[in-house]
Amino acid sequence: MTVENALNAYIDLNVLLIAVTAIWMVLQWTLARTSLRAAYLTQLRLLYGLIAMVLLSPLIVFCIETCQRWGLVSVRGGFSLSDFAVAQYLHGNIALSPTKFESLLMLRSEWTHGIASFNTWMGFAVFGLLLSGFGVMVIRNAKNSWRLIRLIGRAYPLRSIGKVDIRVSHETRVPFSTRGLWRYHVVLPTGLLAHSNDARIAVAHEIQHIRQGDLAWEIALELMRPFFFWNPAFARCKRDVERLRELACDQQVLGRKTHATRAYCECLLRACQNSLTTGPATQIVAPSVPFVQLDLRKRANHSEGFLKQRIISMIEQGQSSGSHRLGPVLLMSLLATVTCITLAIRPVESWSHDRLMLSTIVNLERLNNRTVSQ
């Protein structure tokens, strides 16, 4: 694979992520006005499915291109946005001169070729910024993972439940869960042992995160961060995942009727209060899923608003009927839509009949301009 091909694949991946985020925002707005507005676990699975399709999109394109080379799929089959634009232009729906339209159509190819060939300062600048951001994010992830490994290693093992180790540490103020290669870890602050009911609620909450697969997805999202550190669509998806997984977890734990809603809310508020106390305790770092975490810097208002939303959601405790039936249907529809977008935005290697006609029109226009100038 050449540098230009890799750059094209990277651009396609980011464009797809932006498109998927736009689809998710529209879906979110729609679900908020239906009976699925409180089906947080269903919404979380839908969002996970969309992110998974973004990660699998290079594999989908590779499989399609392989089938085309083997003759299993027609090279002319499928839909392309660029071919659609050319068809609209030939039908007179785009008011541009042939030369300007062709230059606009070839803008991305010329831009990626100029950057990948390092013929201009822009190529060095773009690659420098991308590599710098990637390096900073990789170092950040490695540092956070090392801090987390050391914290777990120093924590006192309390008990084990299957593949889950419950540990106690004086280095954290908030309960959290994380995972290693083979085992899961739930870490409780030492002060929580004085409130046995709070400890049971925190353990139940973190084990529910393990059941939902939230730890694996947290690791996957942190691994994605170096590649999408500049993309606001990634930040939006990450924030919505963090919000939905907590709402879904609260809903599922309280749905078992093993803990009173008031006791659960009071436990959450006490955990928030403990996270605000000063001391040498370590701030929870990724990849981990904390019971609660307030950001006192730029997102303080967002954190406080989300805490209020969690409390209101637990008090209302509205699980919509029919969410499990509609969830798979919505997911399959979304996956089909994302697959079509993946195939539509990829660069077209072969020339269609419409592209040949456009090239002929452009050449005739250039010939006419030369004749007039002479």
Domain boundaries, given as residue ranges, for the chain? 1-105+323-374, 164-320
Residue type, 31: L
Cα separation, 373 vs 367, whole angstroms? 10
Q: Please report the pLDDT score of residue 1 as a whole number.
A: 61
Nearest to 131 by CA among 265, 270, 218, 6: 6
The beta-strand segments (E) located in the chain are 156-161, 164-169, 176-179, 184-189, 289-290
How many CA atoms lie less than 13 Å away from 213 in the CB half-sphere? 9
Smallest Cα–Cα separation from 358: which of 138, 92, 1? Answer: 92
Give whole-number Cα distances, 366 to 22, 99, 105, 352, 362, in Å. 40, 8, 17, 21, 6
Q: What is the pLDDT of residue 66?
A: 80
pLDDT of residue 321: 42
d(CA 339, CA 30): 21
Residues 6+ positions from 61 with CB-CB distance below 8 Å: 9, 12, 342, 343, 346
| Binned average pLDDT, 10 residues per bin, the chain of 374 residues | 81 92 94 88 93 89 78 61 80 81 80 77 84 94 92 93 93 91 93 90 95 94 94 95 94 91 92 72 72 58 74 73 67 86 74 76 78 69
Element containing residue 338 per DSSP (H, E): helix 323-345
What confidence score (pLDDT) does residue 350 get? Answer: 61
CB 225 within 8 A of CB 294: no
What is the CB-side half-sphere exposure of residue 269 using CA atoms within 13 A? Answer: 11
Supply 206's token pair: 């973190």
Give the separation between CA 195 and CA 52, rounded to whole angstroms. Answer: 39
Tokens of 344: 């539509």
CA 4 to chain centre: 25
Q: Which helix (H) or strand (E) holds 46?
A: helix 40-69
Count the Cβ atoms, other than its own, within 10 Å of residue 17: 24
Q: Which two tokens stand for residue 14?
A: 């980011």
From the number of C-beta atoms within 10 Å of its C-beta (0-12, 13-18, 19+), residue 242 rates as middle
- pLDDT for the residue 49: 93
- Find the helix packing angle between 107-116 and 98-105, rounded to 10°: 40
